[in-house]
Amino acid sequence: MHAILDVQGLSKHFQLFDQNALIPSCAEVALKVYAGQLTALVGPTGAGKSSVLKCIFRTYLPSAGRLFYRDGSDNLVDLAHASEQQILELRSREIGFVTQFLHCLPRKSALEVVSAPLLKRGIAAPEAQEKAAELLQLLNVPQRLWHVPPATFSGGEKQRINLARGLIARPRLLLLDEPTASLDPATTERVIDLLQSIKAEGVAMLAIFHQPELVTRLAEQAVRLSPPKMTTQTNLLETCA
């Protein structure tokens, strides 16, 4: 079976010009993600887990490495070198990202935020809103919040909106950054069930979890990251040359 995502030698560092310093955020990461399976990314705070997901989604441009993504037409795309246009198309059709924190436009209601990915795919508004309502119900979001913008929601409520928005369009590859971190045990169980059923539909997932129990229950593979070592500027530049 071909991997949907094959990451080889991924490193990312940030240059802080005002302090003349290079901050490494992840180094020499290798991992594979398969259709219908979940690969867990584990490791301590600061190990670079979120940075890996951001490089795959191209929120961050990788400093080194190859990120081969096999798209729906069976073409291999190196996400590290794909054009902005290619990345935007993949984001709208194939790759979903449930970020650690919810970022969304003010003045859009929870229902509008969650149904937006379906509208982008050309699904009519009433059907998209119906699907969004089903998912909000499933994730225990109280109905009184559905028509309110999520900006003022609690951490757990925001996380549910974020999850619903990421899961509604069934991407081929789903990136999840601590999807259950702010949820109560009952909602966590619902999310686990939902992730199991999405996996059974064939979605490939790469997810960050801090709880080992979730890794045991959901993951087929686990990849452990260690915090990248601070290197002097000269060494890092040599590595990247």
Binding residues for ligand ATP, rule: CB under 6 A, are 14, 23, 25, 43, 45-51
Closer residue to Mg ion (CB): 9 or 44: 44
Q: Which residue is nearest to ligand ATP (CB)?
A: 25
Closer residue to ligand ATP (CB): 131 or 210: 210
Closer residue to Mg ion (CB): 53 or 169: 53
Instruction: State which H helix or E strand residue 218 sits in.
Output: helix 212-218
166 Cβ neighbours under 8 A, 6+ residues apart? 96, 97, 98, 174, 176
CA 166 to chain centre: 8
Which one of ligand ATP, Mg ion, none is in contact with 46 (Cβ closer than 5 to 8 A by kind)? ligand ATP
- DSSP SS3 for 22: strand
First to last CA, the chain: 34
| DSSP per-residue codes, 50-62 | HHHHHHHHTSS--
How far apart are CB 135 and Mg ion at their closest, in Å?
Answer: 24
Residue owning tokens 């069976």: 74
Which one of ligand ATP, Mg ion, none is in contact with 240 (Cβ closer than 5 to 8 A by kind)? none
Which one of Mg ion, ligand ATP, none is in contact with 96 (Cβ closer than 5 to 8 A by kind)? none
Asked whether position 159 contacts Mg ion by CB under 5 A, the answer is no
Which amino acid type is present at position 219? A
Closer residue to Mg ion (CB): 146 or 209: 209
